[in-house]
């Protein structure tokens, strides 16, 4: 899920007790904002237990390319795979235990990249890798914790990337995404109980000429 073996161990320890319902709601809202096509080539980056991948897998065509679900935590991937098997959709997901940056995919091979609840651990370099992996005009969707609601424990706070903005508003999130090279940026705040995130969707630039 994150960038180092140490942080992978943190999420391995949490795999059996992860707050699936919270992350599934975030995933549902992010998918609705980006609206991937049923045949799109999609990656779920730093997938954790597969909240995004599982929801996508249940509404894809049988002939569609499996959703690429990548996470550094073997424990999280094992939980996600088990959940997919119980939903009879494991064949629609290509599970990979690997570093999320760079994504294990060829340049310009994806239509959509989704990253729920993880970019603030991956760092800004992830956004450049997503542009590499996406076709020109491809879509990206990611979330960032709302700064006014973000209260990480000491265990998590030391893994937060210093080069990723924790926005105080949707407008601030959009400006940061644009500064990372994305176009057609749209952002909105989504609050779940006492926790808030910003949902950001955007497009990969299309070269002129």
Using DSSP's 3-state secondary structure scheme, residue 114 falls into: strand
Task: Tell me if 146 sits within 8 A of 125, measured CB to CB.
Answer: no
Task: Tell me if 64 sits within 8 A of 39, measured CB to CB.
Answer: yes
Report angle CA 71, 185, 127 to the nearest 5 degrees: 30
- 86 domain-assigned: yes
- 192 domain-assigned: yes
- 208 domain-assigned: no
What's the pLDDT tens digit per position in 79-118?
A: 999 999 999 998 999 999 999 999 999 999 999 999 999 9
pTM here is 0.90
Domain hosting residue 184, numbered range? 5-203
- 209 domain-assigned: no
Q: What is the CATH number of the domain that holds 71?
A: 3.40.50.150
What's the pLDDT tens digit per position in 140-196?
A: 999 999 999 888 777 777 889 999 999 999 999 999 999 999 999 999 999 988 889
Measured from the Cβ of residue 26, the count of other Cβ atoms closer than 10 Å reads 19
Q: Report how many domains make up the chain.
A: 1
- 122 domain-assigned: yes
Give the Cα separation of 91 and 84 in Å (integer): 8
Report angle CA 107, 112, 117 to the nearest 5 degrees: 110
């Amino acid at each position: 899920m994150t960038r180092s073996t140490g942080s992978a161990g943190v999420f391995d320890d949490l795999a059996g007790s992860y707050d699936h319902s919270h992350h599934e709601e975030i995933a549902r809202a992010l998918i609705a904002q980006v609206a991937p096509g049923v045949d799109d080539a999609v990656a779920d980056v730093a997938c954790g237990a597969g909240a995004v991948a599982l929801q996508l897998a249940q509404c894809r065509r049988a002939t569609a390319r499996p959703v690429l679900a990548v996470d550094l935590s073997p424990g999280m991937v094992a939980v996600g795979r088990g959940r997919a098997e119980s939903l009879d959709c494991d064949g629609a997901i290509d599970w990979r235990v690997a570093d999320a940056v760079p994504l294990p995919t060829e340049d310009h091979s994806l239509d959509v990249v989704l990253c729920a609840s993880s970019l603030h651990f991956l760092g800004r370099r992830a956004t450049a890798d997503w542009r590499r992996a996406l076709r020109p005009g491809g879509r990206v969707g990611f979330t960032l914790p709302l700064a006014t609601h973000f209260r990480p424990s000491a265990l998590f706070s030391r893994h937060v990337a210093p080069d990723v903005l924790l926005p105080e508003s949707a407008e601030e999130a959009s400006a940061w995404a644009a500064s990372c090279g994305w176009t057609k940026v749209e952002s909105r705040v989504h609050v779940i109980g006492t926790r808030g995130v910003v949902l950001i969707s955007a497009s990969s630039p299309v070269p002129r000429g």
